[in-house]
Chain A
Amino acid sequence: MENLSNVTVVKSDGQMKKQKLKTWGFYISVVALPLIQFCIFYIGVNFNSFFMAFQQFKPNSMVVESWTFDNFRELYRQWSGVDITLKNALKTSLFGFGVNVLLGMTSGVLFSYYIFKKMPLYSFFKIVLFMPSIISSMVMTMAYQYFMIDGVTAIAEVFGKTLEPGYMFSTKALIGGESSIITRSLLSVVIYNVWVSFGTQILMYVGAMSGIPEGTIEAGQIDGVNAIREFWHIVLPSVWSTFVVFLTAQIAVIFTNQMSLMNFGAGTGVNTIGYHIFKNMERITRKAGNYPELTLYSALGIACSAIAIPITLGVRWLLTKFGPSEE
């Protein structure tokens, strides 16, 4: 027997069984293919990635020749040797993450408050802030890069100063010695990443803020709180869980974030772990002779995942446990 919208429908056991079979038949037909795809291209890929880290391929192919720790030995050699590529890539990845969290994410919450409170020109800003997410990253990078090279030079000339060619993308260390990553080029790339993601960061929190009960805001206004106090004591705790989710997502992509370096081309002298892996994947796929190198980058991926996973989960746990709560 089924109660459907206050109408009692009497069905026999056979009919009920048939109905249940039809329901399961529909359910399986809907979920089967996506689940199979998930099993192959997520579970299968990640297991295979783990195994590949311990394999050596035969020359010019992806056929397994042997099982070995050589990939990790090679990684260790690259890490601890004279070549500081990997070390600098790691430092740059962490630097970019730090700037993004300190500048991008924290200011994103503040500017979201502006949009949420419908302050002057908010609807115009919503459109402008959304634009970078629909424009091709190549267009944005090209526009920015040539503005920094040609536009800054032209502006400097107006003030009577002559800059050397490519001034804003100079690879000379600004502070520290030769191994320092802090160059004008890095700062230009980091500023680009903050500039291009500024709008997306802001719009992310507007949705979360719109979930704050109106009564809470009104009660605060009746009590005479100003905007700053309202933001700090009401809005920020209310969107804390969203902030934690996005911060966790940023930590999760520390080692995959390329900081748009593929778009800038080879001349920046800047490198991140994500860019290092992608650049080499692109080189490897150009010809079959490079395929045996795939195992080395699987090993690098496994090593980075082994570091990133506990940090991501740990930070998430800490922020959820010790952060402000809505109560």
Chain B
Amino acid sequence: MAQVKKMRGVRVKSEKSVPTLILQIVLLTILVLYALSLVVILGLVLLNSVKLGEVYNYAYMKLPFGKSETGESIFRFGNYAEIFQTMQFNHPTQPNVKTGAWHLIKNSVLYSVGCTLLQTGACCLMAYAAARYKNFVSKIIYTIVLVVMVIPIVGAMASEIKILNVLNVYDTIFGAWLLSFNFLGMHFLILHAGFAAIPKDYSEAAQIDGAGHWRIFLQIMLPLAKNALLTIVLLKFIAYWNDYQTPMIYMPSLPTLSYWLYLVGTNSNVIVIMDPEFGVPLPIERVHQYAGAMLLFLPMFTMFLCLHKRLMGNVSMGGIKG
């Protein structure tokens, strides 16, 4: 197969050789299989989340249509209502803790929004300072980020818990926020590169017009870094929203939605569905677990479909006019 390419005004005819074709076919096949595996496995979760529990037990792959052997409709949206009830549960380690949909959502929003804004803010401030103000402190900041990425520290959790206890913020949302207010990680490097790439002309022009440092940062630099910042905010929000382990350890009496899903997914015995007729606990079936998973998956998936270009886009900065 020949491809004609125009490279720097020279027309070059390049043929796809047999090894190239074979490589392309092999890689394409594996990628298609991978994409199929994701679609099929997640699709089965969605299909089984609206299935009658007894049918699931003998027909995992069956579509949720038609009637079961007992004459009941196989399609059952009630799984969602039943698993939603389980958001009210007896916390496994904190007997006086309030649960329920409102508290879980409130804790999730406070945790993910607060940590996202604080961590993005810390990264942004430090990256801006290190990129635009060249001094020995900026060099130290940059070196710290690189060194921390390379040096593995294991088992600092115990020490973190103790220090949070000493500061009297363990098991509070403030403790979680404090822990997240750090500038370490890849996002610092991305923002640093972005701020460093902005020409000095912007800040100098603003200085001539009498703008102070804060005004230059807030009204000129931040808008120019808007694309990168929004992408980082979205990625961090998703990560914090899905994180259940940090709230589990550092704020155990403030359970989040992701912690609730962890209890559902691992079939914890604190999650119960009450039979509406007899008032006795019913077993949590797989179909309920799938419904719980979908409750958290669908909003994130919808957000991804709407914002995938933003989430996956590259960092870009504005240009200078005139």
Chain B's closest residue to A253 (CB) is: B152
- B-facing residues in A256-298 (Cβ within 8 Å): 256, 262-266, 273-274, 277-278, 281-282, 284-287, 294-295, 297-298
> Which residues of the other chain, B, contact A44 by a CB distance below 8 angstroms?
163
Q: Which of A41, A42, A136 contacts B242 (CB 8 A)?
A: A136
Chain A's closest residue to B145 (CB) is: A38
Chain A's closest residue to B165 (CB) is: A62
Bound complex: CA of A285 vs CA of B213, how far in Å? 45
Check A252/B151 contact, CB under 8 A, given A62-B165, A143-B44, A265-B266: yes
Of the candidate stretches A77-85, A121-129, A173-181, A182-190, the one touching chain B is: A121-129
B7 at the interface (CB under 8 A from A): yes
> Which residues of the other chain, B, contact A134 by a CB distance below 8 angstroms?
238, 300-301, 303-304, 311
20 contacts between A and B (CB under 8 A): A5-B208, A30-B128, A37-B178, A42-B184, A46-B156, A49-B155, A62-B165, A110-B27, A130-B304, A131-B301, A134-B301, A195-B34, A207-B314, A228-B19, A249-B150, A252-B152, A265-B266, A284-B158, A287-B93, A304-B155
Q: A111-B27, A253-B152 are in contact. List 6 more A-B contacts (CB 8 A).
A: A5-B204, A30-B126, A135-B300, A137-B242, A150-B60, A313-B150
Q: Which of A4, A111, A141, A286 contacts B207 (CB 8 A)?
A: A4
Q: Which of B28, B93, B182 contacts A114 (CB 8 A)?
A: B28
Check A30/B245 contact, CB under 8 A, given A38-B144, A301-B156: no
B interface residues, Cβ below 8 angstroms from A: 5, 7-8, 12, 14, 17, 19-20, 23-24, 27-28, 30-32, 34-35, 37-38, 41-42, 44-45, 56, 59-61, 92-93, 122, 125-126, 128-129, 133, 135, 137, 141, 144, 148-163, 165, 178-179, 181-184, 201, 204-205, 207-208, 212-214, 217, 238, 241-242, 244-245, 248-249, 252, 258, 261-262, 265-267, 286, 289-290, 293, 296-297, 300-301, 303-304, 308, 311-312, 314
A212 at the interface (CB under 8 A from B): no
Chain A's closest residue to B58 (CB) is: A154
Bound complex: CA of A287 vs CA of B93, how far in Å? 8
Task: Let me know if A301 and B158 touch, CB within 8 A.
Answer: yes
Closest A-B pairs by Cβ, 9 of them: A301-B155, A252-B152, A26-B213, A49-B159, A227-B20, A294-B158, A265-B266, A304-B154, A136-B242
Q: How near does chain A come to B212, taking the closest CB pair, in angstroms?
A: 7
Chain B's closest residue to A214 (CB) is: B7
A17 at the interface (CB under 8 A from B): no
Bound complex: CA of A256 vs CA of B182, how far in Å? 20
A interface residues, Cβ below 8 angstroms from B: 4-5, 7, 9, 22-23, 26-27, 30-31, 33-35, 37-38, 40-42, 44-46, 48-49, 52, 62, 110-111, 114, 119-121, 124-132, 134-139, 141-144, 146-147, 150-151, 153-154, 195, 198-199, 207, 218, 221-222, 226-228, 248-249, 251-256, 262-266, 273-274, 277-278, 281-282, 284-287, 294-295, 297-298, 300-302, 304-305, 308-309, 312-313, 316
> Which residues of the other chain, A, contact B183 by a CB distance below 8 angstroms?
34, 38
Task: Let me know if A5 and B28 touch, CB within 8 A.
Answer: no
Bound complex: CA of A5 vs CA of B267, how far in Å? 66
Chain A's closest residue to B188 (CB) is: A34
Bound complex: CA of A9 vs CA of B300, how far in Å? 53
Task: Let me know if B159 and A52 touch, CB within 8 A.
Answer: yes
Chain A's closest residue to B48 (CB) is: A146
> Which residues of the other chain, B, contact A285 by a CB distance below 8 angstroms?
93, 161, 249, 252
Task: Let me know if B158 and A297 touch, CB within 8 A.
Answer: yes
Q: How near does chain A come to B254, taking the closest CB pair, in angstroms?
A: 13
Bound complex: CA of A207 vs CA of B32, how far in Å? 22
Q: How near does chain A come to B13, taking the closest CB pair, in angstroms?
A: 10
Bound complex: CA of A264 vs CA of B266, how far in Å? 7
> Which residues of the other chain, B, contact A127 by a CB distance below 8 angstroms?
308, 312
Task: Let me know if A22 and B212 touch, CB within 8 A.
Answer: yes
> Which residues of the other chain, A, contact B217 by a CB distance below 8 angstroms?
30
> Which residues of the other chain, B, contact A7 by a CB distance below 8 angstroms?
208
> Which residues of the other chain, B, contact A313 by a CB distance below 8 angstroms?
150-151
Task: Let me know if A48 and B179 touch, CB within 8 A.
Answer: no
Chain B's closest residue to A316 (CB) is: B150
Q: How near does chain A come to B211, taking the closest CB pair, in angstroms?
A: 12
Chain A's closest residue to B296 (CB) is: A136
Task: Let me know if A130 and B311 touch, CB within 8 A.
Answer: yes
Q: Which of B157, B238, B289 contacts A277 (CB 8 A)?
A: B157
Check A132/B38 contact, CB under 8 A, given A143-B293, A222-B12, A282-B249: yes
> Which residues of the other chain, A, contact B304 by a CB distance below 8 angstroms?
130-131, 134
Which of A137, A286, A312 counts the most chain B CB atoms within 10 A?
A137
> Which residues of the other chain, A, contact B141 by a CB distance below 8 angstroms?
31, 35
Q: Which of B60, B153, B184, B301 contacts A154 (CB 8 A)?
A: B60
Bound complex: CA of A307 vs CA of B280, how far in Å? 53
> Which residues of the other chain, A, contact B153 by a CB distance below 8 angstroms?
46, 49, 301, 305
Bound complex: CA of A301 vs CA of B155, how far in Å? 4
Q: How near does chain B come to A245, taking the closest CB pair, in angstroms?
A: 8
> Which residues of the other chain, A, contact B262 by a CB distance below 8 angstroms?
138, 262-263
Q: Which of B34, B42, B93, B159 contacts A48 (CB 8 A)?
A: B159
Bound complex: CA of A119 vs CA of B157, how far in Å? 45
Task: Let me know if B31 and A114 touch, CB within 8 A.
Answer: yes
Task: Let me know if B37 and A195 touch, CB within 8 A.
Answer: yes
Bound complex: CA of A46 vs CA of B296, how far in Å? 35
Q: Which of A26, A33, A226, A273 contacts B214 (CB 8 A)?
A: A26
Task: Let me know if A138 and B152 touch, CB within 8 A.
Answer: no
Task: Let me know if B152 and A312 touch, CB within 8 A.
Answer: yes
Task: Let me know if B312 and A277 touch, CB within 8 A.
Answer: no
Q: Which of A31, A228, A256 contacts B126 (CB 8 A)?
A: A31
Q: How near does chain A come to B253, taking the closest CB pair, in angstroms?
A: 11
